[in-house]
């Protein structure tokens, strides 16, 4: 049987790092920008994809709307 995840440890060792915080801020900003352009309805149940994989590059030509399954299923 696997051990349960230690979310506090994950946050402490990964998500709280300044670099990861900036990446997360970039992803949030990308979504806000796409909502301004396309509206909330068009993004409902969808993800905003960074074509080049750089979460800090929020130029309109680098962003596209994708299904959750497609976006989270690739680039692994």
Q: Would residue 21 count as lying in a domain?
A: yes
Residue 18 forms part of a structural domain: yes
Note the pLDDT tens digit of each residue in 19-76.
999 999 999 999 999 999 999 999 999 999 999 999 999 999 999 999 999 999 986 5
Instruction: State residue 76's pLDDT score.
Output: 58
Answer yes or no: is 68 within a domain.
yes
| pLDDT confidence of residue 74 | 83
Average pLDDT over residues 6-25: 96
Beta-bridge partner residues of 4: none
How many structural domains compose the chain? 1
**Structure tokens, 56:** 């800090």
* 66 found inside a domain: yes
The pTM of this model reads 0.84
Establish if 2 belongs to a structural domain. no
Q: Which domain holds residue 22?
A: 7-51+59-73
Rg (CA), the chain: 15
For residue 12, tell me if it sits in a domain.
Answer: yes
């Amino acid at each position: 049987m696997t051990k349960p995840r230690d979310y506090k440890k994950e946050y402490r060792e990964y998500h709280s790092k300044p670099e990861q915080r900036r990446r997360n801020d970039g992803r949030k900003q990308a979504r806000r920008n796409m909502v301004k352009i396309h509206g909330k309805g068009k993004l409902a149940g969808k993800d905003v994809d960074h074509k080049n994989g750089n979460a800090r590059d929020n130029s309109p030509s680098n962003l596209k709307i994708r299904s959750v399954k497609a976006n989270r299923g690739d680039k692994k």
